[in-house]
Structures are given as structure tokens and as C-alpha cells.
Structure 1
Amino acid sequence: MPPRPAIRPSILPPHFLCPSVPRSFTRTLKTIQPTPRTRTDRFNHGPGLPILGASKTAAFLRKEAMLPLRTGALAIKKGMTAIYDPTTARRTACTVLQLDRCQVTGHKRRDAHGYWAVQVGCGTKEARNVTRAERGNAAAQGVPLKRHVAEFRVRDAAGLPELGSIVTADLFQKGQYVDARADTRGMGFAGGMKRWGWSGQPASHGNSLTHRAMGSSGASQGSGSRVHPGKHMAGRMGGEQQTVQCLRVLKVDKETGIVVVHGAVPGPKKGIVKLQDAIKKPWPEVDLSVGVSKMGSTAEALESTI
């Protein structure tokens, strides 16, 4: 740690310690004394030590190793089923997902937007049900209108496919791991016992019609006479985005756009699920062009996938 600078003689003690010094003289000394140099960093002083960064660039570099190398895909949840293995006599629960005209509709670049991302859309939508801004954006990019649009972060420009490219089911290989992100089923307004798993109040000893009701919402003077933020109460349950990590891919069918993953996926049937390579598993050793067909014409690409 660098040595602390010595106290300059021009700095006077507080006024109550020396009341004989006039205030005008003190103000004069403060104006003529040199301005102290500001220290840019309090830490990492010494040879060979890296400089700590608190900028957006430093934050991006710290997260760079966790960003996937390629884009993801939007899929529709068809439901759950099971796969039986006659060799091991094991029944594996799985979820069936289907890709519906999944296509690259835009790019996000670091020099213009601050990060690298691929904008992917699925399904279709009539022009009369789309705003003028969305129609203009689709026309500028040369892509058709999509019903659902989402972004997938990537590490660098190498993970940006061409605009209009079709994302097929063989983007994911059998045996690899993916992260599934979707909105959970909306339960509506729910009480505290259903929403947060409370055990409820006593069933007897003077308790009357408050068996499932909430008790105290917080202490009085000891905690500031207030309700602390995040207090569990009754309210709307579900309808929030949830991510299930490290789901193994069991089957892939490119012709029908089917991807079968092990386990449950959040959301109801016919819900939209975002699939991407799992960040807590090794990246799949495949070419970045696998599962992304680079077609010259959008119409030909759509006809080939139907």
C-alpha cells in the first residue's frame, strides 16, 4: 500500500480549537492552498498487479466466459411423455418441444447496442395485427413477420448467423445439455399457504376463522415499525419467468422440428420456451453453422422447412 501523504501545514485545526483565528483568514488559506490529487484507485498498488475495473467493458470481459458460443431457438411446448428403455427397464419422463418456423430476424452488436445477441422469431403473424414500427423493422431486415420474438446472448460476432437463416431442430444434438427458459403457469390470486407453503395457524386454543390467514407482518419498534421489503404475503402466483438448467436432450427430429428433453419444462402447453446451450456444462463441440441453414431466399427457406 502506498505511503499516506504528510499533513500540509496550511491545513488549520477546527475553529472551536483555536477561536482566536478569524474565519476570513481560514477561508483565504483554503483558497490559496493547492488542490489535493485524487487517487484513481485505492487497491492493486504495486508492480505486476492487474488493475481493477469497474467499467462496462470490464464487466463484459468478466461475463464473456459464461456466454454461449452460438444462438438458441424458440420452441413450443407440446406436453410431457415418457421414454421406456427395455434394456435397463427404466422409464424416463420427458418434455416434447417443437420448433415452428424459427428464423433469425435481427442482430445486436456490441459497438451499437453494447452486447452481442441474436434476435430469433417463430410462428407467423398477419400484417394487419402488427404495428407499423414492427412492419418497418421487418421490411428493413428483409425477414417475414413473426408471432414471437426473443433474444439470445452470444459471446462474439462469430455467433451471429446471417439474417433470414432458418434455425432447425438439429441445432441441438442428442446427449447435450440445454437451459430451458419460459413463463410459469399463472395461478391467479393465491393465499399465503398455497403461494409460499405456510403451515397455517393453530386449529384451536382461541383461534377463530383465521386458520389459513396471515399473522403478523413484522415487528414494531425493533424493526423500524414497518413491513420489510420482500415479506411473503398473499398475491398473484405464477406467470413469472423461470429457468431450468442442464436438461439433457434425449431425441432430435429435424424433419418435424421435435426436440425431446429430459424432465419438466416451465409453462403450460402451447407455451413458448427458449432453448440454448447450458452454461454450466461444456459447450458442444460442433460447428457454429450446424442447425442454421443459410438460404439466399427467405421464401425458399420456408418452403424447405414445411
Structure 2
Amino acid sequence: MSGIIGKKVGMTSIFDAEGRNIPCTVIEAGPCVVTQVKTAETDGYASVQLGYDEAKEKNTTSPLKGHFAKANTTPKRKLVEFTTFESQLTLGDVVTVDLFQEGDFVDVVGTSKGKGFQGVVKRHGFGGVGGQTHGQHNRMRAPGSLGASSYPSRVFKGMRMAGRTGGDRVKVQNLQVLKVYAEQNLLVVSGSVPGAKGSYVILDK
């Protein structure tokens, strides 16, 4: 499957031919440079490594500077490998948003917004212990009972409790490409995409 690296611009909505208002996400996709082509003979597996977004040379390590020099390109901030590609690519080729057409379906991978330490109601959708009608005044968002007492005398691993929420790798599948603006390197896909504005996303065709 072919793919490209992009950046989430934000959300908007457009009207379709039938007059329905469709929520959608605008993604700045590419241009990406092929920084490495791996083969089964030399690397044990075949893949294409793409680089996206300009990085300052002073913030790039010497090994990476040499890596980018082989592809005859400037340092990049984001590198992603794609195991299969529809077209044959060589070192230094540029992958643009022209890879996609209106009507295509794509999978988008991003890092969800981090929400810090949250309780069970926000993190897992618990309903709380109960209302105030049964003599409770400070238990509305409490998790309630956690398990047995004398045996096993511990909390099982995986118990849904309070903790760090968000900041996870999330894939949203089968989002339709509604618009392609090749000159601006923009894609408009239906629905929402994980991550904050300006965060990196990976699109798989």
C-alpha cells in the first residue's frame, strides 16, 4: 500500500452534491522525499523510507546529515517507512499529494491528544457510584469497588482505573478523500483524524 506523511491543519465541513453537510479534516500531505530504499537482499526486507518537513541543519546529527546527503536532499524532521508502494521509487524521488484521487479511501495514523492524569469517568466512561439520593455527597465520579478482599488481596493487572489518558498511536480506517488540492499540497478527508493541529499524521492508501 502506498502512503505519504502529512500534517493536520484542522477541521472544517463541506456540502456534497445532495446538500448534506459533511465534517472533514484538512491535511497538508507532502511533498515527501525518498531518503532510503531497502531491499530484501541488503536489508532483509523491502521498504521505502520517506522524509517530510524541513529541519534545521544545526539540530541534525552527523549520521543523519550523511543519510540525507545520499538522497541529495535537505535534513527532514519526520522519517517513516512504507513496506509496499504501488510505483517503483528510487533514492531522491519526490512523493506528492497527486498519489491520491477524490473518492479514494485512506487509513490515517496519528498520536491522539494527551489529556494528562484523568479519572475513570473521563478515561473509561464510568457512570460513577450513584446520585445524591442515597446519602452520598462526594462519590459521584468515584470508581466504586475494585474486587475481592481476602483473596486474592490485590488488584488484577488491566483493571480499568484512573491514569494517563491520550498520547497514544491511533489509526482511523476508511476515511474518504473528498478534495485534492495539488498546488497547495492539501487533502480533505471525511471525518476526524487523531492528534492536535500541526501534529504529524501518516496516510496509507
TM-score (normalised: structure 2): 0.90
Residues 147-166 of structure 1 mapped to structure 2, 5 A cutoff: 147-154=77-84, 159-166=87-94
Map of 1:256 onto structure 2 = 184
Shift in Å at residue 192 of structure 1? 1.0
Map of 2:49 onto structure 1 = 119
Shift in Å at residue 161 of structure 1? 1.0
**Is 2:141 the partner of 1:212?**
yes
Cα distance in 2, alignment partners of residues 258 and 103 from structure 1: 17
Percent identical residues:
41
Cα distance in 1, alignment partners of residues 5 and 18 from structure 2: 33
Letter paired with 2:90: E
Letter paired with 2:5: L
Choose between structure 1 and 2: higher helix proportion. Answer: 1
**Is 2:154 the partner of 1:226?**
yes
Cα distance in 2, alignment partners of residues 184 and 160 from structure 1: 32
Where 1:107 maps in the other structure, the secondary structure is strand
Letter paired with 1:211: M
Shift in Å at residue 123 of structure 1? 1.1
Where 1:123 maps in the other structure, the secondary structure is strand
Where 2:76 maps in the other structure, the secondary structure is coil
Given that residues 117 and 160 in structure 1 are in contact (C-alpha distance below 8 angstroms), is that contact kept between their aligned partners in structure 2?
no
**Counterparts in 2 of 1:211 and 1:98: CA distance versus 1, 3 Å:** same
Cα distance in 2, alignment partners of residues 191 and 110 from structure 1: 47
Whichever of the two has the greater Rg, that structure is 1
Consecutive unaligned residues in structure 1, runs of 5 or more? 1-67, 278-306
**Is 2:195 the partner of 1:267?**
yes
Shift in Å at residue 217 of structure 1? 2.8
Choose between structure 1 and 2: higher strand proportion. Answer: 2
Map of 1:78 onto structure 2 = 9
4+ residue segments displaced more than 4 Å: none
Cα distance in 1, alignment partners of residues 33 and 100 from structure 2: 15
Judge which range, 123-132 or 94-103, deviates more.
94-103
Cα distance in 2, alignment partners of residues 160 and 143 from structure 1: 19
Letter paired with 2:14: I
**Counterparts in 2 of 1:148 and 1:202: CA distance versus 1, 3 Å:** same
Consecutive unaligned residues in structure 2, runs of 5 or more? none
Letter paired with 1:186: G
Cα distance in 2, alignment partners of residues 232 and 114 from structure 1: 40
Cα distance in 2, alignment partners of residues 164 and 154 from structure 1: 17
Letter paired with 1:192: V
Shift in Å at residue 173 of structure 1? 1.1
Given that residues 248 and 261 in structure 1 are in contact (C-alpha distance below 8 angstroms), is that contact kept between their aligned partners in structure 2?
yes
RMSD: 2.0
Cα distance in 1, alignment partners of residues 201 and 56 from structure 2: 22
Cα distance in 2, alignment partners of residues 133 and 232 from structure 1: 43
Where 2:171 maps in the other structure, the secondary structure is strand
TM-score (normalised: structure 1): 0.62
Shift in Å at residue 210 of structure 1? 3.0
Shift in Å at residue 195 of structure 1? 0.7
**Counterparts in 2 of 1:199 and 1:163: CA distance versus 1, 3 Å:** same
Where 2:131 maps in the other structure, the secondary structure is coil
Where 1:73 maps in the other structure, the secondary structure is strand
Shift in Å at residue 177 of structure 1? 0.7
Cα distance in 1, alignment partners of residues 37 and 154 from structure 2: 47
Shift in Å at residue 206 of structure 1? 4.5
Map of 2:115 onto structure 1 = 187
Shift in Å at residue 219 of structure 1? 2.3
